Chain A
Amino acid sequence: MLIALLTAYLIMHFSSDSSALSAPFAQAAERIKKNVSDDDRQKQALTVIDQMKSEAQAYTQKRDSSMDVLARLLAKRTTAASDIEHASQPLIDEDRARGERLLDLRFKLKSVLTSSEWAKVFPVGETAT
């Protein structure tokens, strides 16, 4: 029943928390190049953005294969809710762990930039995605 919808719903739930912590990478990198004049700090900041990007890519690949397992369970009418919850748990855990890693990187980036540079890279009123 509405398998594609349920799958999309679960994908959204299992990645919504940490996705919010992903910076719009290309835009952030562009603004760092434009607003951070110190070469060393600019390089360090861009390295952190690259790490965030790699984190996002690795997570997407890992999540997609786990979602296949979940989609197969959802397709079977008799699968109990507890089985779906059980199969979802690694995805939720991974989303939380990814959130922690992105937070680490966010504070690493903060340690490289000044307050005024930060305001130009992440201006108020922009959403992460």
Chain B
Amino acid sequence: MTTVLNCRSRRTPQVVWWLLLALVAATGCSSKPLTPEQQAQADLSACDAQIRKIVADPARADRLVALTGEFNKLGWESIGRVNEYRAKVAALNSNYDATREDFEALISKQDAVRETLLKKALALREQMAALTTDAEWEQLRSARLRALENGLKQLGS
């Protein structure tokens, strides 16, 4: 009896493993692709977990996670501002009678927006750098926010 029980208990994890595998496969086949918002949130969660794995000190890790969240927010805000600007330029371009001064006024405004956002991004980077060691910084190279990266790359191309 004991032998049977032992045998069963040894086999149980294997059964569970196969059931899980089947479940994962089934979920994988039927699951819908994530929306950009869901992907961005998933990226952020994965990035946070990676930061906590690399930076052992919880206080510094908390701060880095918060700064990454701020950077993520800033990135999406920047994408929104650029899209807004592009829509305004396109509208102006469609206007046959638009003057060079009209364009230059719009460009100057966007220049100021760009400078503000850039300063915020560099300040965040500086704080992140101050919170890490060289070794941690190097390891954190692999931390990615892919949805945001792709969004930014598309705007820059």
> Taking beta carbons and an 8 Å cutoff, which residues of A are in contact with B?
1-6, 8-17, 19-21, 23, 74-75, 77-81, 84-85, 88, 92, 96, 99, 103, 106-107, 110, 115, 118-119, 122-129
Chain B 45-64 residues near chain A, CB threshold 8 A: 47, 64
A22–B106 Cα distance when bound, in Å, is: 15
Q: Are A8 and B149 in contact (CB under 8 A)?
A: yes
Contact of A77 among B91, B103, B104, B134 (CB under 8 A): B134
Q: Are A126 and B94 in contact (CB under 8 A)?
A: yes
Chain B 87-132 residues near chain A, CB threshold 8 A: 87, 89-91, 93-94, 96-97, 100, 103-104, 107, 110-111, 114, 117-118, 121-123, 125-126, 128-129, 132
* Interface residue B156 (Cβ < 8 Å from any Cβ of A): yes
* Interface residue B78 (Cβ < 8 Å from any Cβ of A): yes
Q: Are B155 and A1 in contact (CB under 8 A)?
A: no
B93 cross-chain contacts in A, Cβ below 8 A = 21, 23, 106, 122, 128
Q: Are B90 and A128 in contact (CB under 8 A)?
A: yes
Chain B 63-87 residues near chain A, CB threshold 8 A: 64, 68, 71, 75, 78-79, 82-83, 85-87
Q: Are A115 and B96 in contact (CB under 8 A)?
A: yes
A1-B90 in contact given A8-B152, A81-B125, A118-B96 (Cβ < 8 Å)? no
Q: Are B114 and A17 in contact (CB under 8 A)?
A: yes
Interface of B is mostly: helix
Q: Are B94 and A12 in contact (CB under 8 A)?
A: no
B97 cross-chain contacts in A, Cβ below 8 A = 115
Chain B interface residue count, CB cutoff 8 Å, equals 50
Contact of B114 among A13, A79, A81 (CB under 8 A): A13
* Interface residue B42 (Cβ < 8 Å from any Cβ of A): no
A19 cross-chain contacts in B, Cβ below 8 A = 86, 155-156
Which has the most chain B C-beta neighbours within 10 Å: A14, A20, A84, A125? A20
Beyond A1-B64, A4-B144, A9-B152, 14 additional pairs, beta carbon < 8 A: A6-B125, A8-B149, A9-B78, A12-B79, A12-B82, A16-B85, A19-B86, A19-B156, A96-B111, A103-B104, A119-B96, A124-B94, A128-B93, A129-B155
A106–B141 Cα distance when bound, in Å, is: 41
A107 cross-chain contacts in B, Cβ below 8 A = 100
Q: Are B144 and A16 in contact (CB under 8 A)?
A: no
